[in-house]
Homo-oligomer: A and B are copies of this chain.
Amino acid sequence: MDGVTIDLAEARRRFLDLPIYAALGTVRPDGTPQVNPMWFSYDGEHIRFTHLRTRAKFRNLQANAGMALSLLDPEDPFSYLEVRGRLVDVVDDPTGAFYVELQNRYGNPSTVPPPDAADRVILLMSVDRLLGQ
Contact = CB atoms under 8 A, between A and B. Distances in A.
B21 A82 contact: no
A124 interface: no
Interface string A78-107: 001010101000000000000000000000
Contact of A68 (B33, B77, B80, B84): B33
A127 interface: no
B1 A72 contact: no
B34 A68 contact: yes
A70 interface: yes
Contacts of A24: 35
A62 to B, nearest CB: 14
A26 B64 CA distance: 14
A37 interface: yes
A55 interface: yes
A26 B84 CA distance: 13
A25 B66 contact: no
A56 B1 CA distance: 12
A26 B21 contact: no
Contact of A23 (B23, B27, B32, B56): B23
